């Protein structure tokens, strides 16, 4: 099969980690008889430098015309002086909106080989950890009405949390489908004891749940969920939540796995289209030194193979290759521990590609 992939390398370590992910994809192509065609596109700081804006319309169009999008990371101190709406990070928000990416899927996986990197008590993560947070990405308070107004208490600012039943329904379906393919447990996180929007959220999730009798559904308040994630993370399989709660929970979930350099993500639109990227940023402090960990981006490619291209065997092969390189004791600097063999970005990519 032939697949076209829009590639946005971005800034900082973006180009370095993308190069390794392409190496791995090419190896998958060789091994399983697929052809991956890449279209390199500008977005973020490099687009500002070359074209004067963070998200050129040509990039949006080319992404829309591809089967899938692979993104490194954008941003860096060079562009920090720019006003909010002109900054490289606007490219990410713009792409989410333009491509209709409403579901953000972030696995939090702790490989047993990296258990020492986890800040939690060993017994709470014994045998590794594998949960997924499904975050609604295009609604809620980040996109609701906002502004300033004069009140009797003086000048005030407001942001409105708003969700339609349709928005909740479609994200709930994504989460139920995901749970169905895993351990069949879904936890919906909200603040239904206080927020009207959460009460609507909960009732819609319950309604959708009737179509998934095989999935065990439970509800949890966000404050409790933040605590439970630290106390007993293994109780979770799939978590579904709104945009803002998801923003916070996904970062918390990534920390309990120990390294930001290991975690992939997918942002999905209706149908199978998706944008795949590591959860980390452009890490300007380590850019150009061949020390960035490319595994988060390589594991993002595995998600692309599974979710957008429907190639589960190929996705499994990539994940197994990452595991086997870890099992052999190879570590990039961010996950290095005593007695292990330190490798750079390129060698990590080479070894993973070779293990496929």
Q: Kindly state whether residue 16 participates in binding ligand NAD, applying the rule CB under 6 A.
A: no
Q: Please report the beta strands in 178-285, taking only residues with DSSP state E, as ranges in sequence order.
A: 185-190, 216-221, 238-241, 264-268, 274-278
Q: Kindly state whether residue 267 participates in binding ligand NAD, applying the rule CB under 6 A.
A: no
Residue of 130, 159, 247, 350 marked catalytic:
247
We find the least distance from the C-beta atom of residue 9 to ligand NAD, in angstroms, to be 11
223 is catalytic: yes
Residue of 64, 78, 97, 142 marked catalytic:
142
Structure token pair of residue 69: 């999008």
- Own/partner pairs, 318-322, CB within 8 angstroms, 24+ separation: 318/24, 318/28, 318/352, 318/356, 320/355, 321/24, 321/352, 321/353, 321/355, 321/356, 322/295, 322/298, 322/352
Closest CA to 187 of 137, 247, 234: 234
The residue within the footprint of ligand NAD, chosen from 74, 321, 322, 355 (CB under 6 A), is: 74
Partners of 266 in the beta sheet?
105, 276
Q: Kindly state whether residue 282 participates in binding ligand NAD, applying the rule CB under 6 A.
A: yes
The residue within the footprint of ligand NAD, chosen from 103, 134, 240, 292 (CB under 6 A), is: 292
What is the enclosing helix (H) or strand (E) of 347?
helix 345-354
Q: Is 299:318 a contact under the CB 8 Å cutoff? A: yes
We find the least distance from the C-beta atom of residue 262 to ligand NAD, in angstroms, to be 8
CA dist 51 and 45 (Å) reads 10
Nearer to ligand NAD, 277 or 319 (CB): 277
Q: Kindly state whether residue 76 participates in binding ligand NAD, applying the rule CB under 6 A.
A: yes
We find the least distance from the C-beta atom of residue 14 to ligand NAD, in angstroms, to be 7
Site string for ligand NAD, 310-329 (x = CB under 6 A): --------------------
Q: Residue 240: helix, strand or coil by DSSP?
A: strand
We find the least distance from the C-beta atom of residue 27 to ligand NAD, in angstroms, to be 20
Scan residues 329-348 and list those touching ligand NAD (CB under 6 A). Answer: 334
Q: Residue 42: helix, strand or coil by DSSP?
A: coil
Q: Is residue 65 classed exposed, middle or buried when 0-12, 13-18 and 19+ CB atoms within 10 A define those classes?
A: exposed
- Which of left, alpha, beta for 321 (phi over 0: left; psi -120 to 50: alpha)? alpha
Q: Kindly state whether residue 250 participates in binding ligand NAD, applying the rule CB under 6 A.
A: no
Closest CA to 349 of 7, 119, 24: 24
Q: Kindly state whether residue 281 participates in binding ligand NAD, applying the rule CB under 6 A.
A: yes
Site string for ligand NAD, 20-59 (x = CB under 6 A): ----------------------------------------
Q: Kindly state whether residue 233 participates in binding ligand NAD, applying the rule CB under 6 A.
A: no
Region of 68-76, 174-182, 220-228, 322-330 interacting with ligand NAD (CB under 6 A): 68-76
The residue within the footprint of ligand NAD, chosen from 9, 135, 280, 331 (CB under 6 A), is: 280
CA dist 86 and 234 (Å) reads 41
316 is catalytic: no
Q: Kindly state whether residue 15 participates in binding ligand NAD, applying the rule CB under 6 A.
A: no
Residue of 191, 212, 276, 334 marked catalytic:
191
Q: Kindly state whether residue 283 participates in binding ligand NAD, applying the rule CB under 6 A.
A: yes
Going edge to edge, which strands form the sheet with 274-278? 35-41, 2-10, 68-73, 274-278, 264-268, 103-110, 129-136, 238-241, 185-190, 216-221
350 is catalytic: no
- Catalytic positions: 142, 191, 223, 247, 251
Footprint of ligand NAD on this chain (CB under 6 A)? 13, 17, 73-76, 89, 92, 260-261, 277, 280-286, 292-293, 296, 334
């Amino acid at each position: 099969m032939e697949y076209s992939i829009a590639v946005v390398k971005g800034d900082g370590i973006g180009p370095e980690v993308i190069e390794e992910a392409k190496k791995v994809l090419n190896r998958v192509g060789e091994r399983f008889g697929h052809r991956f065609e890449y279209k390199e596109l500008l977005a973020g700081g490099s687009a500002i430098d070359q074209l004067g804006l963070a998200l050129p319309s040509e990039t949006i169009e080319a992404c829309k015309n591809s089967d899938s999008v692979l993104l490194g990371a954008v941003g860096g101190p060079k562009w920090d002086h720019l006003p909010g709406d002109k900054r490289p990070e606007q490219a990410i928000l713009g792409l989410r909106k333009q491509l209709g990416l409403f579901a953000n899927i972030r696995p939090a996986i702790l490989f047993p080989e990296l258990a020492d990197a986890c800040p939690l008590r060993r017994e709470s993560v014994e045998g590794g950890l594998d949960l997924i947070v499904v975050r609604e990405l295009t609604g809620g308070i980040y996109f609701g009405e906002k502004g300033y107004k004069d009140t009797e208490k003086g000048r005030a600012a407001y942001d409105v949390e708003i969700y339609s039943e349709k928005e909740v329904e479609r994200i709930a379906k994504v989460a139920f489908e995901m749970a169905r393919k895993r351990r069949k447990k879904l936890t919906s996180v909200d603040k239904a004891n206080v927020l009207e929007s959460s009460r609507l959220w909960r009732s819609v999730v319950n309604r959708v749940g009737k179509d998934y009798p095989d999935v065990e559904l439970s509800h949890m308040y966000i404050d409790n969920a933040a605590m439970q994630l630290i106390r007993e993370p293994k109780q979770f399989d799939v978590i579904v939540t709104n945009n803002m709660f998801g923003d916070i929970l996904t970062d918390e979930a990534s920390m309990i796995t120990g390294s930001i350099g290991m975690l992939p993500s997918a942002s999905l639109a209706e149908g199978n289209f998706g944008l795949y990227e590591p959860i980390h940023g452009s890490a300007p402090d380590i850019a150009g030194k061949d020390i960035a960990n490319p595994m988060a981006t390589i594991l993002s490619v595995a998600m692309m193979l599974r979710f957008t291209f429907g190639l589960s065997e190929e996705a499994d092969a990539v994940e197994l290759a990452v595991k086997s390189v870890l099992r052999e004791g190879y570590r990039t600097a961010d996950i290095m521990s005593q007695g292990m063999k330190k490798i750079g970005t390129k060698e990590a990519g080479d070894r993973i590609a070779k293990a496929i």
